[in-house]
Amino acid sequence: MAKESVNAGYYRMMQRATPQSQRGADVFITGTDTGIGKTYVSVTLLQALRAQGHTAIGMKPIASGCTITVNGLRNEDALALQVACNPRPDYAEINPVALLAPVSPHLAAAIEATRIELAPIHQAFATLQAQAQHVIVEGVGGWLAPLREDLSVADLVRSMDLPVILVVGLRLGCLNHALLSARAILADGCTLLGWIGNAVDPTMRAREGNLDTLRHLLPAPCLGILEHQPDSSQQIGALDAAVLSIQPATLHDSELPTRDPP
């Protein structure tokens, strides 16, 4: 899919201009598939950042499957992110592209006879950056999910100049999905900060063996494992490494996580 222009310097300028005394990194959360807990991980990461005294805002740039409300279209995932934010921005800033049909965004947009554009997403992102030390941007679908005929999630991430954390849904098939996703992220020239395992299948067989394999084969460190637990606030301590990975650049390199040893 065709690349769109990237104005990385603009976002670096916004980071310098924010009233926050010291901004950390913003990060894009992608996943090995749909339904593997990107929102759960994003909410937990927001809670973990807040627990350590950081201001953090979640963003869901594009969401399909929205519900019609008296306030307009609303998406369940975007609303969960909004609740976890501090400060709490307007919904339209968190989810600038809201689509009704519960299908892939490019199909949902076609049904509504509209076209997904990057400009409103960039504008909302810059507004959120000015409000908090971190913006946690949750993707839609997987890494190569199409957004229109010439645009994918990967193109969106490049246009926002964001490093990536990969959510691995811990279930049968996760090894292949995780390795393919990591390879695609790196091949697209993006920075893979690490991966977070999410226990979407609490009955998964040989889970520890699969985790050992992921730690050995993925080209980035494990930043946490989240268990099958409805209350994400009970698991914020599991993401200490993820919080550290997106701290300000003034941190010494030795403090940042490295690839897990074989």
3-state percent breakdown (helix, strand, coil) of the chain, nearest 5: 40, 20, 40
The predicted pLDDT at position 41 comes to 97
Q: What residues act catalytically? A: 60
- Please count the helices (runs of H) and the strands (runs of E) in the chain: 10, 12
Could you tell me which residues are beta bridge partners of residue 28?
137, 164
Pick the residue with more confidence: 146 or 1?
Answer: 146
* Cα end-to-end distance, the chain, whole Å: 35
pLDDT, one tens digit per residue, over 124-171 is: 999 999 999 999 999 999 999 999 999 999 999 999 999 999 999 999
Tell me the Cα Rg of the chain.
17
Residue ranges making up the domain that contains 206: 22-62+79-97+118-247
Phi, psi of 175 (to 5 degrees): -65, -50
Pick the residue with more confidence: 253 or 70?
Answer: 70
The domain that holds 90 is classified in CATH as 3.40.50.300
Residue 2 lies in a domain: no
Among residues 84, 39, 73, 71, the alpha carbon closest in space to that of 196 is found at: 39
- Each as own residue / partner, the long-range contacts of residues 107-110 (CB below 8 Å, 24 or more positions apart, any chain) are 108/64, 108/65, 109/147, 109/148
Q: Averaged over 74-96, what is the pLDDT?
A: 97
- Of all residues in the chain, the percent with pLDDT exceeding 90 is 82
Residue 213 vs residues 43, 55, 93, 101, 189: alpha-carbon distances, Å: 26, 35, 39, 37, 24
Q: Averaged over 193-207, what is the pLDDT?
A: 96
Residue 105 lies in a domain: no
Q: Averaged over 76-83, what is the pLDDT?
A: 98
The predicted pLDDT at position 231 comes to 85
Domain count along the chain? 1
Residue 71 lies in a domain: no
Among residues 5, 42, 31, the alpha carbon closest in space to that of 151 is found at: 5
Residue 184 lies in a domain: yes
pLDDT band at 12 (very low <50, low <70, confident <90, very high): very low
Residue 110 lies in a domain: no
78, 116 in Cβ contact below 8 A? no
Among residues 149, 169, 140, the alpha carbon closest in space to that of 41 is found at: 169
Residue 10 lies in a domain: no
Residue 30 lies in a domain: yes
Pick the residue with more confidence: 49 or 229?
Answer: 49
208, 234 in Cβ contact below 8 A? no
Contacts of residue 208, defined as CB under 8 A and 6 or more positions apart, other chains included, come to none
To the question of pTM greater than 0.85 for the whole model, the response is yes
Tokens (6 digits) for 134: 């971190």
The predicted pLDDT at position 249 comes to 53
CB atoms within 10 A of CB 11: 18
